[in-house]
Chain A
Amino acid sequence: NAGVMQNPRHLVRRRGQEARLRCSPMKGHSHVYWYRQLPEEGLKFMVYLQKENIIDESGMPKERFSAEFPKEGPSILRIQQVVRGDSAAYFCASSRSTRSTNEKLFFGSGTQLSVL
């Protein structure tokens, strides 16, 4: 049973380009979460998605950032017109459900985005 798969592991973009980060949750998991870890800062929640629905996007910047989790395929975090301040490690996590207080989140290895 593969864990949470993120790709690419490293992504380099020039200012103004688009970045697409992919996340395949663990088998059987229908809840996906994106977190961002800026240099010298802790992990911050960005968005929570269930299949085809955005449940909580309270941590997403209002502009240039979007996320989706289609019925088929991986979840995508998309950053348009990247700026140097977007350079960070982006982590995806998944869970089977959210109903139990015992439900763990499983994290991927992250995508390190570098904006030149």
Chain B
Amino acid sequence: KQEVTQIPAALSVPEGENLVLNCSFTDSAIYNLQWFRQDPGKGLTSLLLIQSSQREQTSGRLNASLDKSSGRSTLYIAASQPGDSATYLCAVLYNQGGKLIFGQGTELSVKP
């Protein structure tokens, strides 16, 4: 069964800290992996997409890595800010067709 797991479920850090969110998936034959941000009552914003042939992607203070052999991805957030507070979702695509398998998310709170 294809499953995606995210730990921790919730994380609270002081402003300025660097932090790592973890995502693991059971089937390594992925098409791509995406990290999303979800703010309360709102939709999902795509942060980073890592293709199956890539090992990492960077955008500003965000860096996502992918290790297919171990079934893991990490999202690294540098110099966290209160505006980063949101739920971060990891989602895996196993084939063409848009059927993303989502993790349960990590709820991040960055305290000023």
Binding site for B on A (CB under 8 A): 4, 6, 31, 33, 35, 41-45, 48, 55-56, 58-59, 91, 93, 95, 98-99, 101-102, 104-110, 112
Contact = CB atoms under 8 A, between A and B. Distances in A.
Contacts of B100: 35, 43, 45, 105
B34 interface: yes
A91 B44 contact: yes
A82 B36 CA distance: 30
Best-surrounded residue of A6, A99, A106 (most CB of chain B within 10 A):
A106
A98 to B, nearest CB: 4
A28 to B, nearest CB: 16
Given A43-B89, A91-B43, A91-B44, A105 B102 contact: no
Given A43-B102, A55-B97, A107-B46, 11 more contacts: A6-B43, A41-B104, A45-B100, A91-B43, A91-B44, A98-B98, A102-B49, A107-B44, A108-B43, A109-B42, A110-B42
Nearest to A31: B98
Contacts of A44: 102
Contact of B98 (A33, A43, A112): A33
- Interface size bracket, B side: 20 to 34
A104 B103 contact: no
Contact of A56 (B36, B49, B91, B99): B99
14 contacts: A4-B43, A42-B102, A42-B103, A43-B91, A44-B102, A45-B100, A55-B97, A98-B96, A101-B52, A102-B32, A104-B34, A107-B44, A109-B43, A110-B42
